[in-house]
Chains A and B, each alone.
Chain A
Amino acid sequence: MIAVRHVGLRPRVAVAATGRHAAILIVIIGLLFPLFWVAVTSLRPANDLFSTSPIPWPMSVENYRDAIFRFPIGTMLLNTAIMAIAATLLQVTVAIGAAYALVRFRPRWGGAVVLLAGAAVVIPPQMLIIPQFLIASHLGWRDTYLGLIIPQLAACGLPILLLREYLVDIPTSLLEASIMDGARPAETLRLVVLPLLRPALAAVSILVFVNTWNEYLWPTLIAPQVNHTTIQAGLQLLGNQEGPTSGALLAAAMITTLPVLAVYAIASRRITHAFLQSGIK
Chain B
Amino acid sequence: MAGVTLEPTPVSPTPPAPPAQGGCGVRARSGPWVYSAPAILSLATWVYVPMVATGVASLLDWDLITPARYVGVANYRRLLADHDFHRAIWQTGWYVLMMLPLATVVPLALAITLWLRPGRVSSLYRALLFLPVVLAPAANAVSWQFVLNPLQGITNTVLADLGLPGPGWLNDPSWAPVVIVAMTTGKIIGLNTLLFSASLSAIDQSTIEAARVDGATSWEIVRHVIAAQLIRPVALLGLLCVLLAGQWVFTNVALVTQGGPNGATDNVYYRLYTYAFTFFDTGTAAAAAVVITVGVAAGYVLVRLAIGRVRHADAPTAG
> Which of A's residues lie within 8 Å of B, judged by CB?
1-10, 12, 17, 20-21, 23-24, 27-28, 31-35, 37-38, 41, 49-50, 52, 93-98, 100-102, 104-105, 107, 110, 113, 116-117, 120, 122-132, 134-135, 150-151, 153-154, 156-157, 160, 184-187, 189-190, 194, 210, 213-214, 216-217, 220-221, 231-236, 239, 244-245, 249-250, 252-254, 256-257, 260-261, 264, 268, 271-272, 275-276, 279-281
Contact = CB atoms under 8 A, between A and B. Distances in A.
Given A2-B194, A153-B43, A216-B251, 13 more contacts: A1-B198, A3-B201, A21-B121, A52-B157, A101-B33, A101-B35, A105-B31, A122-B296, A124-B292, A214-B135, A256-B136, A279-B194, A281-B319
Contacts of B19: 93-94, 97
Choose among B145, B152, B285 the residue with the greatest number of A CB atoms under 10 Å from its CB.
Answer: B145
10 contacts: A8-B212, A24-B129, A38-B147, A93-B17, A94-B18, A122-B300, A131-B50, A153-B45, A185-B35, A253-B143
A97 B127 CA distance: 34
A156 B37 CA distance: 13
A276 B117 contact: no
Interface stretch (B69-77, B79-87, B270-278): B270-278
A271 B289 contact: no
A3 to B, nearest CB: 7
B94 interface: no
B194 A272 contact: yes
The 6 closest A-B pairs by CB, nearest first: A186-B15, A98-B39, A97-B18, A101-B35, A131-B50, A34-B143
Interface string B210-231: 0010000110000000000000
Contacts of A194: 17
Say what secondary structure dominates the interface of chain B: helix
Given A232-B137, A253-B142, A24 B114 contact: yes
B191 A279 contact: yes
Contacts of B11: 184, 187
A104 B149 CA distance: 57
A210 B32 contact: no
Given A28-B129, A125-B247, A153-B42, A213 B136 contact: yes
A36 to B, nearest CB: 9
Q: How large is the interface on B (under 10, 10 to 19, 20 to 34, 35 or more residues)?
A: 35 or more
Interface string B44-62: 0111111101100100000
B174 interface: no
Contacts of B129: 24, 27-28, 31
B137 A98 contact: no
Contacts, number: 327
B158 interface: yes
B35 A98 contact: yes
Contacts of B50: 127-132, 135, 154
A50 B157 contact: yes
B259 interface: no
Helix, strand, loop or mixed for chain A's interface? Answer: helix
A257 to B, nearest CB: 5
Contacts of B146: 34, 37-38, 41, 244-245, 250
Contacts of B198: 1-2, 276, 279-280
A116 B42 CA distance: 11
Contacts of B128: 28, 32
A41 B195 CA distance: 34
B286 to A, nearest CB: 7
A113 B39 contact: yes
Contacts of B137: 214, 216, 232
B15 A35 contact: no
A126 B272 contact: yes
B218 A12 contact: yes
Contacts of A244: 142, 145-146, 149
B143 A37 contact: yes
B164 interface: no
Given A37-B143, A130-B57, A131-B49, A156 B42 contact: yes
A5 B205 contact: yes
Contact of A23 (B113, B273, B285): B113
Nearest to A256: B139
Contacts of A160: 39
A245 B53 contact: no
Given A185-B15, A257-B139, A34 B147 contact: yes
B105 interface: no
A131 B57 contact: yes
Given A34-B144, A37-B143, A101 B152 contact: no
A126 B16 contact: no
Nearest to A108: B32
A72 to B, nearest CB: 15
Contacts of B238: none
A165 B227 CA distance: 29
Most chain B CB within 10 A, of A52, A134, A186, A231, is at A186
